Amino acid sequence: MRRICISVRAESQEEALARVQKAQVYKPLLVEVRLDYMAPSEAKLAARRAAGKHSNILLTYRRWLEGGARRMAEEERAKLLLELIEAKPMAVDIELHTLEERRELADRAREEGVLLVASWHSSYTPGARELENIARRELELAWVAKVVPRAGRAADNLEVLKLYRRVAGRLVAFCSGSMGVLSRVLCLMAGAPYTYVCLPGEATAEGQLTAGELIELMEAAGVEGFLLDR
């Protein structure tokens, strides 16, 4: 098993299931299914089918303001997120903003034995103090804290990677955008339990490497700990 989360997007449940199956070939720790590319009714069916067939599924219905593909009222999306939790995947990604506004989501995840990834995405990279505050708030609520600002310059990668020295816990922090590619790789060496990649030609975010590209880089560099025992 490799320390990668392969993110897949699809507009139908059949397409989602096919891409999840394709992703499993790379032996990832997680496969993220970006359900926000589907209508809610289709997303519910895809969630149940994917979680029922595979034990490493991470379900995400991304908030529009943080890069989601579909506009949706937060009240309606919260109800959908509850249904995703009840599908009992390995994990569900929910934004920090939503988790703090709707504590019942974290409670339900705990009751169902579903792990939470608390995430935060931004179009810019804030200062060190703000990044640390975000990560600590996420770790109070979730299994993994995901912090992903967009890099406007190469130095933003360093600002984010420094988080691993200041925050103890399961932290997945890197920069998005074309300037953030470096941190997507180096975060594994800094202490991230996994990083996000995509299938060839099917990126879900700017700057994502494909699973094959990252595996080749890690093997060429001889990075220890990239392969997990389980």
Spot the catalytic one: 44, 97, 121, 162: 121
Active site residue 146: yes
pLDDT above 90 for 228: no
What is the model's pLDDT at position 56?
98
pTM comes to: 0.96
What is the model's pLDDT at position 126?
97
Domain ranges for the chain: 2-221
Mean pLDDT of 88-103: 98
What is the model's pLDDT at position 227?
83
Name the fold adopted by 2-221: TIM Barrel (3.20.20)
What is the model's pLDDT at position 221?
85
pLDDT above 80 for 211: yes
Active site residue 22: no
pLDDT above 70 for 230: no
pLDDT above 80 for 224: no
Categorize the per-residue pLDDT at 148 as very low, low, confident or very high, splitting at 50, 70 and 90: very high
53-84 pLDDT tens trace: 999 999 999 999 999 999 999 999 999 999 99
96-139 pLDDT tens trace: 999 999 999 999 999 999 999 999 999 999 999 999 999 999 99
What is the model's pLDDT at position 229?
62
Contacts for 39 with CB less than 8 Å, ≥ 6 apart: none
pLDDT above 80 for 147: yes
9-59 pLDDT tens trace: 999 999 999 999 999 999 999 999 999 999 999 999 999 999 999 999 999
